[in-house]
Amino acid sequence: MLILSLDSSAVAGSVALCDGERLLCEYTVNLGNTHSETILPMIESILKIAGYTTDDIDIFACSEGPGSFTGIRIGAATVKGLAFSLGKPVIGVSTLEALAYNLLGFDGIICPVMNARRGQVYNAVFDAELNRLTEDRAIAASDLAAELAGKRVFLCGDGTKVALAGGVDATPAPERLLHQSAFSVAQCALKKYNAGVRTSDTELSPVYLRLPQAERVRLERESGSLESNERILKNEGK
């Protein structure tokens, strides 16, 4: 079963072609490139090298979030477009679960973290066999540190430095396992497929966990304006 998977949820972009659990090709770029410019050429490259076309693909998979709002949309739009044109299933997986797969078998708590800004991380916690201990969430690094205190913890993801700075006592993953991997996305998608999940291109929906930054700024400004107006009215009433 051929799986074409991708992850564009963070700075690193990754595309993989797998035959079930067997990795055929993986192409990862961590140069800060714009995913909209690189993902399709990366897909074309690995298919050409492996001697396949999109017609041969049985499952399209992508990380559905959390992560970069723009990156998640690019990944989802890419696989939705490919799946729609071919009538093939498309499966979205948690970015955090795919990151955790990088550390499958590590003897301890697996803690993927993505930088959510303002001292927060997108996070979920797993045991060594990838059983979930928490749902995906946005959490302050200091709160995560308190939650994991006294446990043997391994970190991965671009929020590792944020988590460490926030007091999380953990061992960072090796560089090769620190970033998003499309192979991990493919394996998480295969697990869902084997469990009976069949998602169409129209059903795939990004998972953001938080509002986009522009929307948060707008709401904060509106909230600040409201509070300012209330103070003015109170002062005028004195």
Burial of residue 37 (number of CB atoms within 10 Å: 0-12, 13-18, 19+): exposed
Give the tokens for residue 154. 């391994």
What does the buried/exposed string (b/e) look like for 141-153 if buried means 16 or more CB atoms within 10 Å of the residue's CB?
Answer: bebbbeebeeeeb
**Residue 4: pLDDT above 70?**
yes
CA angle 194, 94, 58 (to 5 degrees): 40
> pLDDT by residue (tens digit) across 61-74?
999 999 999 999 99
CA atoms of 75 and 189, how far apart (whole Å): 14
Domain encompassing residue 67: 2-97+179-207
On whether both 93 and 197 belong to a single domain, the answer is: yes
CB 126 within 8 A of CB 133: yes
Expressed in angstroms, the distance from the first to the final Cα of the chain is 75
Within-domain flag for 222: no
| Percentage of residues in the chain having pLDDT higher than 70 | 89
Instruction: Verify that 88 and 183 share a domain, yes or no.
Output: yes
Residues 76 and 51 in one domain: yes
**Same structural domain for residues 120 and 156?**
yes
- Judge contact between 112 and 106, C-beta under 8 A: no
Q: Does the pLDDT value for residue 174 go beyond 60?
A: yes
Note whether residue 58 is domain-resident.
Answer: yes
Higher pLDDT: 67 or 213? It is 67
Which pLDDT score is estimated for 98? 98
CB atoms within 10 A of CB 116: 21
Please check whether residues 7 and 27 belong to one and the same domain: yes
For residue 210, the model assigns a pLDDT of 73
Instruction: Indicate if 10 and 84 belong to the same structural domain.
Output: yes
pLDDT of 133 strictly over 80: yes
Statement: the pTM of the whole predicted model exceeds 0.85: yes
Q: Clarify whether residues 48 and 82 are in a common domain.
A: yes
Are residues 16 and 93 both part of a single domain?
A: yes
Provide the domain count of the chain. 2
Residues 116 and 155 reside in one and the same domain = yes
Q: How far apart, in Å, are the Cα atoms of 4 and each of 51, 93, 153, 237?
A: 13, 13, 31, 65
Q: Tell me, rounded to whole angstroms, the distance of Cα 52 from its chain centroid.
A: 27
What CATH number is attached to the domain comprising 148? 3.30.420.200
Distance CA 184, CA 77 (A): 20
| Overall average pLDDT of the 114-132 stretch | 96
Residue 183 has pLDDT above 50, yes or no: yes
- 219-235 pLDDT tens trace: 567 666 545 544 543 44
User: For the domain that residue 190 is a member of, what is the CATH number?
Assistant: 3.30.420.40
- Is the pLDDT reported for residue 238 higher than 70? no
Q: Does residue 107 register a pLDDT over 50?
A: yes
